[in-house]
Every structure is written in C-alpha cells, then in structure tokens.
C-alpha cells in the first residue's frame, strides 16, 4: 500500500507526530509513504533522517506558498495530487500532518478493502485536543466521522482519512491530476457503481494543538468557498441559483445536522453543548464562503 501525507498545519512537529504514529502500526518495508511538501514544512532534513523510509517530495516549485498562504485550501489539494502521482501500491491512502493514525489503522484498511466491490474506504476521525475550540472545529469538519460510523454504502469520505483501490482511483485520474477535490472524486467513483465504505477501526485523531479562533474562522470561509467553487462544475445552473439564495439557511441546517448526529451517537455531549455557540459561528462563516463560491464559481485562489 501507499500513504500520502499532506501538509496542512505545517511545521515540523505535526508531521513528526503523524509519521511516528504511522510507524508504530505498519511494516515500513511494505508501506510506501510519500510526503509532498511546500515551504510550510520546516525541518525536512531532520525529518528525513528520523524517517528514512519516507519519500519527502520537494514540491515548492509547483506549489507557490507565497500565492496561496492562508488564503486558500488549494495548496492542500495540489500537494495531494503531486503525492498520488508518485504512488505505486495497489491500495492508496491519504492522511494529513495533524492527523494521528491509530495503531490498527493499516490493518483495518487492508481488511476492509478485501470486500468485493469496495473501491474506497474511509475511517473514523476522533478529536485529539481537549479544548472547546478544537471540539467545535472537530464537529464542523468531522462530526459525521465520529464513531460509531454508519455501516453500508456512504456518500461522503474525508480526504484526511481515506484509501482507494489504485485501479479505480486511476479511472477518474482526470478529476485529480491537478488538484485532489474529495467531493468530485468520491461522487464520480460512486456514480460509476463502486462502493464507498466507512470502517470504525480505521481511526485518525485530529491533533490541531495550535488552532486559533480567528484562523479557524478564516479557514471556514475559505473552505466553504472552495467547496462551493468546486461543486459548481457538478451542478446545473438552476441548482446553483437555488443554492445562492438558500445559503443564508446553511448555519441553521448545518448546526442542526451536527447536533442531531452527535445526539444520536451519545458521546461527549458535554463537549458538544459547550462548543455549540462556536459551532454556529463557524458554520455562519462557512455559509458566507459557500455563498461567495456559488456566486463567483471560483475558489479563493482563482480570484
């Protein structure tokens, strides 16, 4: 199998934590690990010495961080694409630097892929930092992936914890050859009749220890706009108009979904209720981003 680790948070510490956890639960001689990086990853030489089994790919010439910076999520998607093109394994997985995989992550993934017709397997995501802001961001980003995850076919998988059969991923290669957008890729795979599944044993902990409130707000706007800008290519003009005029309802709809989903799982409800006001603010900013994305049909980096 091959694993591509994307630089999201940046810096040496998150990547070191991710790779250390990955190393504990795998046979490095059988798992190809690729880290495509830009200027946000510090201490590459030290990391390369610490993890000689990892292929660190210098993508600074292909990803202009001075252009992207914190104003877009597009550099994440481009790095994933660069990494995927260098993989060789029959199973290809995606992680993020601030994600800490559980010890049984690799085994759970490979076992799940043995089922006939399964083309993509995602895993559960848990919060690894016990702060209210982190809980709020966790529920916004990964609440649907909190264990117990749903059984059977699913519509959504997160690119922070997902794996694909190589031959199926390459069937839709034109969709991700320049930038990997999880929604477009997963929906196209599903449209082709393949199964998308979630596995409760394939767990990654979100460990965003340096998360700040203002940066979280800006991130929600940028990612909401990127989601909408990407989605425009998959929907009709009529649907786009409807989405523009109903964007103001999104904070209530998204927060309501988070609340109902979390209540059904009956876990960490005290954290949920404490984080709920921040969740609503974050989803309001996401809705503003979606509105701009649907109106312009572009992600922030395309303006």
Question: Per residue in 213-241, pLDDT tens?
Answer: 998 999 899 889 888 887 887 788 888 89
Q: Please, which pLDDT band fits residue 80 given cuts at 50, 70 and 90?
A: very high
Task: Assess whether pLDDT exceeds 60 at residue 303.
Answer: no
Round the average pLDDT of the chain to a whole number and report it. 89
CATH of domain 2-206: 3.90.550.10
Beta strands 161-165 and 118-127, pairing class: antiparallel
pTM of the model: 0.87
Listed by start position, the domains of the chain span 2-206, 213-302
Q: Mean pLDDT across the stretch 130-136? A: 96
């Amino acid at each position: 199998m091959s694993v591509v680790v994307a630089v999201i948070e940046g810096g040496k510490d998150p990547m070191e934590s991710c790779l250390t956890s990955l190393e504990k639960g795998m046979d490095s001689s059988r798992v190809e690990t690729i880290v495509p990086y830009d200027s946000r990853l510090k201490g590459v030489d030290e990391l390369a010495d610490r993890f000689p089994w990892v292929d660190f790919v210098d993508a600074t010439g292909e990803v202009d961080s001075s252009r992207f910076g914190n104003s877009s999520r597009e550099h994440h998607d481009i790095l994933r694409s660069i990494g995927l093109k260098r993989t060789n394994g029959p199973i290809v997985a995606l992680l993020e630097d601030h994600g800490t995989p559980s010890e049984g992550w690799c085994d759970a993934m490979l076992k799940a892929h043995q089922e006939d017709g399964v083309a993509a397997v995602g895993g559960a995501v848990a919060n690894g930092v016990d702060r209210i802001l982190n809980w709020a961001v966790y529920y916004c980003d990964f609440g649907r992936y909190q264990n117990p995850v749903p059984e059977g076919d699913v519509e959504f998988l997160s690119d922070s914890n997902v794996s694909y059969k190589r031959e199926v991923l390459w069937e839709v290669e034109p969709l991700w050859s320049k930038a990997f957008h999880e929604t477009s890729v997963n929906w196209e795979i599903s449209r082709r009749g393949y199964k998308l599944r979630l596995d409760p044993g394939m767990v990654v902990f979100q460990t965003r220890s340096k998360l700040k409130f203002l940066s979280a707000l800006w991130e929600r706007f940028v990612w909401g706009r990127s989601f909408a800008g990407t989605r425009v290519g998959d929907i009709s003009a009529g649907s786009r108009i409807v989405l523009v005029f109903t964007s103001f309802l999104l904070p209530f709809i998204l927060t309501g979904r988070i609340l109902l989903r979390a209540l059904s799982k009956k876990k960490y409800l005290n954290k949920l209720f404490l984080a709920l006001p921040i969740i609503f603010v974050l989803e309001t900013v996401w809705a503003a981003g979606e509105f701009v994305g649907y109106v312009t049909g572009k992600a922030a980096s395309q303006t």
